[in-house]
């Protein structure tokens, strides 16, 4: 079943790169008590994700924070080393916290997987974004296949 507005985020383990190396993070606990923006892409370093999705959240970080967003989280079904390199390459290290969903547990738990096997990508996450307040989905923006409209930082800003 696909996650809906009003649902709680699941307690799944994601991985964050720290100064001491990879660190496991329980998503439900990590977002508890805070209002966050979370976006997910099919893959780091892929064309739309690198040219539009990540840069939009970097550019709009201050505006999102002015609207009450305390942290911006980016995720993908990639390993933590890839997401860390992507954040660095995209100039996102200060604006976006990358949480790797290396095994796709998060996107499976919320019903937003994507079959990218036709492109050699295997199971990935769909392109989506959400505003989460104290672990509960406040706003949810899921893209139609092949589109990039409703999961952008600009769109999110217009909805909060």
Q: Which residue has the tokens 């840069």?
A: 55
Cα(117)–Cα(5) distance, integer angstroms: 29
User: Is 127 among the residues known to form the active site?
Assistant: no
HSE at residue 80, side-chain half, CA atoms within 13 A, is 15
**What are the beta bridge partners of residue 14?**
25
Catalytic-role residue among 49, 72, 99, 110: 49
Q: Residues 32, 70: contact at Cβ < 8 Å?
A: no
* Residues annotated catalytic, as ranges: 49
């Amino acid at each position: 079943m696909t996650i809906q507005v009003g649902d709680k985020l699941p307690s799944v383990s994601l991985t964050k790169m720290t100064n001491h190396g990879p660190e496991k993070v329980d998503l439900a606990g990590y977002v508890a008590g805070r209002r966050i923006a979370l976006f997910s892409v099919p893959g780091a370093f892929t064309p739309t994700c690198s040219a539009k999705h990540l840069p939009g959240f970097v550019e709009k970080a201050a505006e999102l924070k002015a609207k009450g967003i305390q942290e911006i989280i980016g995720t993908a079904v990639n390993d933590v080393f890839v997401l860390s390199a992507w954040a660095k390459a995209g100039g996102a290290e200060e604006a976006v916290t990358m949480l790797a969903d290396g095994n796709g547990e998060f996107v499976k738990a919320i019903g937003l997987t994507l079959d990218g096997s036709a492109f050699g990508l295997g199971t990935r996450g769909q392109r989506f974004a959400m505003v989460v307040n104290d672990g509960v989905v406040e706003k949810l923006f899921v893209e139609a296949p092949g589109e990039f409209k409703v999961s952008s930082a600009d769109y999110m800003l217009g909805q909060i």
